[in-house]
Chains A and B, each alone.
Chain A
Amino acid sequence: MIKKVFEKPLSWLERIFFIDFIRGLSVTIRHAFSKTITTHYPYEKLTPPKRFRGFFGHKVVDGTEPQPAFDEWVERFKVEVEPGKSRCVVCLLCKRACPVPQLFEIEGEKLPNGKRRVSVFNMNMLLCTFCGFCVDACPVDCLFQSDIHETASYSRKDSVLTLEVLERIGRDWQRRREKEPDRIWIDDAQRMRLWYENDLKLPEVKKQ
């Protein structure tokens, strides 16, 4: 079978009758009478995929922490674990991973019973590039990126995420989307089929 690689240049007859024009016009008219694909934004909103890199949040202590990492960090830093509060253990790994470290303002405090907990956790979103390095660095799955993407505010102060706001975003997230399977986009089944039903078979890695 002969494979077509390039379009042939138009013959003079095709040029006279504007065949290329007519082809283009037929494409546009077909699109003009098909359904529009846009979202009417302020009235309709798309739900971003779960891996969307939006505003940050702090997941709260609810029994789903990654073990044994969380217990190890709690033990090492003697952190006060309180259900419904941030999982943060004040390890500052997020700040170290950040390309703009000054956007983090993290402080811990010592409680009268000798344990410690996070007291200040401010993130200045005006400096953030939403790269997600801090999320990768977090050892206790506390800091994460949510699907909040409407981030405009009227003052610079409003764009600083404080600990309370972060916790609120985290609680909301855990209620809404924590249980959702981690998938890439809504046409998941289609993508899976494309990935797994292609005829390219890679040699399987032998388990030791």
Chain B
Amino acid sequence: MEGLFVQLLVIGIKILVILGVVLGLGAYLTWVERKVAAHIQRRAGPMVVGWHGLLQPLADGLKLITKEDIFPRTGNRFLYNLALVLALVPAVLVFAVVPFGPEFEFFGVKVKPILTDVNVGLLLVFALGSMAVYAIALAGWASNSKYALIGSMRKAGIIVSYEVVITFAVMGPVILAGTLSTYEIVQQQINQKLWYIWLQPIAFVIYMFAMLAETGRVPFDVQEAEAELVTGFTVEYGGIKFGLFPLVEWYVEVLSLSAIAVVLFLGGWSPINIPFLGFVDPLFFLGPLSPFVWFVLKVALLFLFVLWLHWTLPRYRIDQITETAWKVMLPLTFVNLVLTAVLAPIVWR
């Protein structure tokens, strides 16, 4: 009985920590993005609210919350609100299977820093990832507006193509690790002394592209396309509802997919890897905190890389995007799969 209570308490604390960190971080990443974008364009970005604009997300949030909530008269109110829930919930739910570090003991209780270590964790991630298409299709349909509908249809087209690609891209690491559990995949990488990026560079590049496409980042932001579609499917939303979509799409989803990329290809919480030889940890002085720092560091670097790409590249046309997915990336993932099958025995040993 007591064991059950402790377990429930641990799970409750994990949920609170994950929700707080993810949503709070999501809000603060808007500030990061604005700063990065500004400096790439040789501007200074937000500077006024707080030190170097550090309180800007709070000000933005206050502004969005106090704004009038406008609803299009001919829209469908139920679906309109349902789309919000469908966008937010799966995106946050992905973090349930992201392992943040190795198992540790806290006052005699063994705690895995992962909410649920389900043995099909990776499957769950991509199942939830495909849920995003419902949110966007519903948002576009319920708004009853041309721009919103075109935007949501474009996004649906992209997600349908890239879900296939991303799923085949992660097959390589899954074969090498021999498991679908995210925690076990990292453990396997540590046991095999190998980050899977060394054997799966093609899969990694394709994963990165598919991640950009799924989260609607440049060069695949045709659903947003502010030059032609205003802001795509969010055009009829107002106030905090309008703020929530980019928050989910651009920050929470990018964060979750970066975390999954780190888990699959960059060895999760393990320090710098020399293939087949071992790990070098320049952060050894942090002691038991070092794995967590490594994980956060990798995710942060990946996120910054995505931002860097976003503010560098132009936008592809919708036909070019789907063409690349079906004609280039999908065959490449098949080639990668065959290569992995040949190489796998070396890793398994």
Contacts and interface: CB of A to CB of B under 8 A. Distances in A.
- Are A and B bound to each other? yes
Nearest to A26: B312
B43 A38 contact: yes
Interface in A21-44: 21, 24-25, 27-29, 31-38, 40
A140 to B, nearest CB: 45
Interface in B308-322: 308-309, 311-313
A33 B36 CA distance: 10
A88 to B, nearest CB: 43
A33 B308 CA distance: 12
A38 B42 contact: yes
Nearest to B311: A28
Contacts of A33: 39
Interface in B234-273: none
Contacts of B309: 21, 25
A32 B44 contact: no
Interface in B212-232: none
A44 B41 CA distance: 19
Contact of B43 (A24, A25, A28, A36): A36
Contacts of A21: 309, 312-313
Contact of A25 (B36, B38, B47, B312): B312
B36 A32 contact: yes
A31 B37 CA distance: 11
B65 interface: no
Contact of B42 (A24, A25, A29, A34): A34
B208 to A, nearest CB: 11
Given A24-B313, A27-B312, A28-B312, A40 B41 contact: no
Contacts of B40: 28, 31-32
A11 B54 CA distance: 45
B320 to A, nearest CB: 14
B39 A25 contact: no
A40 B47 contact: yes
Interface in B1-59: 36, 38-44, 47
A31 B47 contact: no
A28 B44 contact: no
A34 B309 CA distance: 18
A29 B36 CA distance: 10
A88 B87 CA distance: 68
Contact of B308 (A28, A36, A37): A28
Interface string B315-336: 0000000000000000000000
Contacts of A28: 40, 308, 311-312
B313 A29 contact: no
Interface of B: 36, 38-44, 47, 308-309, 311-313
14 contacts: A24-B312, A24-B313, A25-B308, A25-B312, A27-B312, A28-B312, A32-B36, A32-B40, A34-B42, A35-B42, A36-B39, A36-B43, A38-B43, A40-B44
3 tightest Cβ-Cβ pairs between the two chains A and B: A28-B312, A32-B39, A24-B312
